[in-house]
Amino acid sequence: MSSDFSRCLSLLRQERGISQRAAAKDLGISQALLSHYENGVREPGLAFVTKACNYYNVSADFLLGRTLSRDGTTIAAEELYDYSAEKDNVLHGSILATLNKKLLVNSIGVLFDLLGKTGKKEAINAAADYLGTAIYKLFRHLYRADGTQNEDFFSVPARQFLAGIPSADMICTEAEYVEALASHVKEKGKFPPMNNDALTENYPGLYQSLLQIIHTTGERVNCRGKARKEGR
């Protein structure tokens, strides 16, 4: 059974605001056994999964991490909320935050459209995993910054997070991404056109954001490289 099950089982209990002891009693098992289930030490049988679904009023697919919808229905891409489509969608309190958000959203839009045209699912998934972990890291640092937040919300233990486990995951997913692209070259050898004229024509507006990201990131990386060489 996937780690999604143990994480979801724990989060559902915390969401309800009950102790592990109380949940275990309601579910008809010992607290120690429920702890093992929530920490992925042991795998439950079908009878417990059914009981847990009824107890938390969710589908088995949701509890097993197969869908984001609690009733088990599949969420289509067009059903996901798109904040960028809102009018006057300036993030609260900061024009700078809104500007940077738009630059990144537009650039990611170009990236995934190009990946979609390759049809290479492994590359698409690896790119999503890489970016997802980057967002996870930044949000978790923000979440824990004031030192008062309960980190049980996250499945990765705090010590492992601070030791760099998510960064290691990003290295692995980047390697998977590169490998998937190399595999695509061997299988098909074709990519959508990515020269300046083609990108300008196919992504009017969006491509300007990508160019900005490429420029500012390149300048920042080069400056840091120069500083290291000069011993600063």
pLDDT at 225: 79
3-state secondary structure 151-205: HHHCCCCHHHHHHCHHHHHHHHHHHHHHHHHHHHHHHCCCCCCCCHHHHHHHCCC
| pLDDT in single tens digits along all 232 residues of the chain | 556 788 889 888 988 889 999 999 999 999 999 999 998 899 899 999 999 999 999 888 888 877 766 776 655 555 555 555 655 555 555 677 878 888 899 999 999 999 999 999 999 999 999 999 999 999 999 999 988 988 887 888 899 999 999 999 999 999 999 999 999 999 877 899 999 999 999 998 899 999 999 999 999 899 887 777 776 5
To the question of pTM greater than 0.75 for the whole model, the response is no
Contacts by 48-53, CB closer than 8 A, 24 or more apart? 51/27, 52/9, 52/12, 52/27
pLDDT at 184: 93
Superfamily the domain 3-63 falls into: lambda repressor-like DNA-binding domains (1.10.260.40)
pLDDT at 232: 58
pLDDT at 8: 86
Backbone phi, psi, residue 34, to 5°: -65, -40
pLDDT at 67: 72
Calpha distance 47→37 (Å, rounded) = 13
- CA torsion 59-64-69-75 (nearest 10°) is -130
Every domain of the chain and the residues it spans:
3-63, 78-229
pLDDT at 167: 96
Residue with the two structure tokens 């990508």? 210
